[in-house]
């Protein structure tokens, strides 16, 4: 792959999609740095890879000082994937201000801090990728803060792409539908508690958002990220790429 020998930094790399992307980029020959708040999870992902292929750095992307320290520890990077995120559900009328602020902090402010630091240390070729969601392209009930944050990520990417368009840098967002990850498992468990359904019934209901009637595999998102870093993708800039089986 064309990423061989390049350094990539992935936030939220201790589990789920972030861990899968770390493994995919490492398998393609990249030098990978993963970041997150849970040091034990980061160490587990790094420890399961070939020696030195994945390096963990503990950081909270909602804290400006942590992000600055992260990039200082990582050294110059050419590919940055702002993947860290969180989700929670509640009816809009019962959404607390602290929940709103917390979800915007990790899902939107964290992306801003990560990509700003990334851009400021890029001198030549670079790829800026944000993991958004189909929630950045449409609405879903009971997750208003998450939807608002992901719409913000898509807007941020579209603005940033125009700023870097004259350079060898592109900025794009990946917008997967419901993923077959721990986060979706937690969502299914929450739905089951609220509705009396089984967790499997809740997972099936989430899968029905996808016209293919399935959850998206993390490897499908990793493949899209690798493609954005490959020759031939230079003209793909400022896009919100849906990976959702055709979900409108």
Low-confidence ranges of the chain (pLDDT < 70): 1
* Domains contained in the chain, number: 1
Other CB atoms within 10 Å distance of the CB of residue 112: 18
Establish if 23 belongs to a structural domain: yes
Judged by DSSP in three states, 175 sits in strand
How much is the pTM? 0.94
Q: Does 187 reside within a domain?
A: no
- 169-223 pLDDT, tens digit each: 999 999 999 998 877 877 777 777 877 888 888 888 888 999 999 999 999 999 9
Residues in the chain: 248
Tell me, yes or no, whether 57 lies in a domain. yes
Residue 204 lies in a domain: no
Q: 243: which 2 tokens?
A: 């990976």
Please check whether residue 149 lies inside any domain of the structure: yes
- Give a yes or no: residue 244 inside a domain: no
Domain containing residue 131: 7-177+225-238
Task: Please give the pLDDT value at position 133.
Answer: 97
Residue 14, domain CATH: 3.40.50.720
Distance CA 41, CA 58 (A): 10
Report how many helices (DSSP H) and strands (DSSP E) the chain contains, helices first.
9, 7
In a domain, 147, yes or no: yes
**Inter-CA distances, 248 with 174, 215, 220, Å:** 15, 15, 18
| Domain-embedded: residue 133 | yes
Confidence (pLDDT) at 1: 56
Residues identified as active-site: 146
């Amino acid at each position: 792959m064309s990423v061989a020998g390049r350094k990539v930094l992935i936030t939220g790399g201790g589990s789920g999609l972030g861990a899968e992307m770390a493994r995919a980029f490492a398998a393609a020959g990249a030098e990978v740095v993963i970041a997150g708040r849970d040091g034990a999870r980061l160490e587990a992902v790094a420890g399961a890879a070939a020696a030195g292929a994945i390096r963990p750095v503990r950081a909270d992307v909602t804290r400006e000082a942590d992000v600055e320290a992260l990039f200082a520890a990582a050294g110059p990077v050419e590919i940055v994937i702002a993947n860290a995120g969180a989700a929670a559900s509640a009816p809009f009328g019962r959404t607390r201000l602290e929940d709103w602020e917390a979800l915007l902090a990790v899902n939107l402010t964290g992306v801003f801090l990560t990509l700003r630091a990334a851009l400021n240390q890029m001198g030549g070729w670079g790829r800026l990728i944000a993991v958004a969601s189909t929630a950045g392209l449409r609405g879903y009930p009971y997750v208003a803060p998450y939807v608002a944050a992901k719409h913000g990520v898509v807007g941020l990417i579209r603005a940033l792409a125009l700023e870097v368009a004259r350079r060898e840098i592109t900025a794009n967002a990946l917008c997967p539908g419901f993923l077959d990850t721990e986060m979706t498992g937690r969502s299914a468990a929450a739905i089951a508690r609220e509705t009396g359904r089984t967790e499997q019934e809740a997972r099936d209901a989430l899968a029905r958002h996808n016209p293919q009637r399935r959850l998206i595999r993390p490897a499908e998102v990793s493949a899209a990220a690798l493609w954005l870093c490959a020759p031939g993708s230079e003209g793909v800039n400022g896009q919100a790429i849906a990976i959702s089986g055709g979900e409108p």
